[in-house]
Amino acid sequence: MRNPGGWTFIYQDGKVEEGETFTCYHCNCLVMIKPKERPEDIGGFCTICTKLVCSQCVGKGCDPFEEKRRRIEASYHARRSYEG
């Protein structure tokens, strides 16, 4: 991957695993990129928002995490405004 965006260390069962990462733009999950892993197995590229997405968000349409957050906050503020 050309520009992964991050680097992480994971400690499991007394072993240290390290690798490059990227954050899915649609669900905000962290995806670890293993060496020599096929791009199709990692996720994909959203052609609408031109960002990297995880394998679970590929093909589900473009719904960026920030837009989801804004909708949730707007509904929260609307419900709070109805309370007296």
Domain boundaries, the chain: 6-82
SS3 content of the chain, % helix, strand, coil (to 5): 25, 35, 40
43 and 60 Cβ atoms separated by less than 8 Å: no
Alpha-carbon distance of 9 to 49, in angstroms, equals 29
pLDDT tens digits, 1-42: 555 678 888 888 888 888 889 999 999 998 988 888 887 888
pLDDT > 80? residue 47: yes
What pTM was estimated for this model as a whole? 0.70
The pLDDT, as a whole number, for residue 6 is 80
The encoded tokens of residue 55 equal 């394998």
Average pLDDT, the chain: 86
Alpha-carbon distance of 8 to 14, in angstroms, equals 16
The pLDDT, as a whole number, for residue 4 is 61
